[in-house]
Amino acid sequence: MSHPEHKDNVGAKLGMWLFLFTELLLFGGLFILYSVYLARYPHEFAAAGRELDVTYGAANTVVLLTSSLFAAMAVTSVKRGEARATMALLSGTLACAGVFLVIKYVEWSAKINHGIYPGSAKLIAGAPGESVFFGLYYITTGLHGIHVVIGAAVLAWIGAKVKSGAVHAGDNITLENGTLYWHLVDLVWIFIFPLYYLIL
């Protein structure tokens, strides 16, 4: 005889995977659009890519990979009944999210100050392909940044539930789903980094 709680967990996990699939379709569409324009403007995309700072991109990659490690460890900790360790690891994940957003803010600010943003006089005067590249860059990284903010807010909410005892070793599906979303955010960046920062 199956337990109602088990059925609820299976339903919650299935619902989360379906939601993540729609998110993959969203970013997948942007990556396909990128590929189409890359085929049309290969040299312009390469030239525009050299305008990006690889150091910022690499730093954010390390930050997000670290945050995913903390999130995975938080799931292991909650299953062991270690609420304090779980909260500490979630705090580490949130700290990484903050660092990521600060780096992205600094990077965007530098680009905007140099006149590199959609519709700027510099891009309008340049090759059409470069304008397309940066248009896609701002849309994709901006959308990803919004997902980082949402993911951080969700994990902060879950952290509060861990503190109150609502999420614990016997009921941790909320944390599992929250970290699954965070891993998706990390995965998307793993595609963004080489496509935009390492293009040759």
Query: pLDDT of 69-113, one tens digit each?
Result: 999 999 999 999 999 999 999 999 999 999 999 999 999 999 999
Banded pLDDT at 2 (limits 50, 70, 90): very low
User: In this structure, are residues 31 and 191 in contact, taking their beta carbons and an 8 Å threshold?
Assistant: yes
Q: Which domains does the chain show, CATH number per domain?
A: 19-198 (1.20.120.80)
pLDDT at 10: 81
pLDDT at position 60 over 70: yes
For residue range 107-140, list pLDDT tens digits in order. Answer: 999 999 999 999 999 999 999 999 999 999 999 9
DSSP reduced 3-state for 51? coil
**Number of C-alpha atoms within 13 angstroms, CB side, residue 143?**
15
Integer angstrom CA distances of residue 34 from 61, 73, 121, 133, 155 = 20, 34, 23, 8, 31
pLDDT at position 5 over 80: no
Q: Which two tokens stand for residue 73?
A: 């460890």
pLDDT at 89: 98
pLDDT at 45: 97
Confidence (pTM): 0.92
Burial level of 22, CB count in 10 A (0-12/13-18/19+)? exposed
Identify any residues that bridge with 168 across adjacent strands, giving them in sequence order. Answer: 171
Banded pLDDT at 1 (limits 50, 70, 90): very low
The amino acid occupying position 25 is L
Banded pLDDT at 7 (limits 50, 70, 90): low
